[in-house]
Amino acid sequence: MSFSPLVDQLLESLRVLPGVGPKTAQRMALHLLEREREGGRRLSAALSQAIEQVGYCQRCRTLTEETLCSVCQDPRRDETSLCVVESPADMLAIEQAGGYRGQYFVLHGHLSPLDGIGPDDIGLDQLEARLAEEPVGEIILATNPTVEGEATAHYIAEHLVGREIKISRLAYGVPMGGELEYVDGGTLSRAFQGRQPFSRD
């Protein structure tokens, strides 16, 4: 036995969400149908509206329903600094951390030759076009500190050699608030290599 066809179809469709298996899908579907029809209606509308209307910013490629995202539209942002990230979520994390006031470029992934993802698939042609047009003085490579993210950062850096652009990478080191005992060896040795003069400010 199963539920009725429409409920089964809802269960099946909910499985498209990351981390949602059969049991969670069932709990979600019953919750929506038994207690939250109004919220479910809003979710259905918001989902279809976002899917139909949200595209990518023409300049930085983050998600937005407008031609340019709010960061690219903001005239107070520093035009000379460009931060390259793998995903819109990374861009949001940097914005929420505060402190950075420059521009962004979203790759939507990383280089992965085995999966057939080459430079053009992560928009490096578009990045190049942007560098030709804009007065960028520094590129901050903020790809993930993973093997693929590192490789992508290296590729981009190699590619820009010879231009009058400063290229930097996010600092590696021990995360704030952690305990040294639990920091992995790779991170620790990077933190030693990247040690800074002690500041008494």
Q: Which residues bind its own copies (CB under 8 A)?
A: 1-7, 9-10, 12-14, 16-19, 24, 26-34, 36-37, 39-51, 53-54, 62-66, 69-71, 87-89, 92, 95-96, 108
42 or 163: CB nearest its own copies: 42
CA geometry: angle 91, 62, 112, nearest 5 deg? 80
* Least gap, CB of 102 to its own copies (angstroms): 13
* Least gap, CB of 63 to its own copies (angstroms): 6
18 or 197: CB nearest its own copies: 18
- The CB density around residue 108, as the number of other CB atoms within 10 Å, is 16
Cβ distance 146 to 87 under 8 Å? Answer: no
- Integer Cα distance of 68 and 15 in angstroms: 32
In the numeric block, which tokens belong to residue 111? 């280089």
* Least gap, CB of 7 to its own copies (angstroms): 6
- Integer Cα distance of 178 and 123 in angstroms: 36
47 or 129: CB nearest its own copies: 47
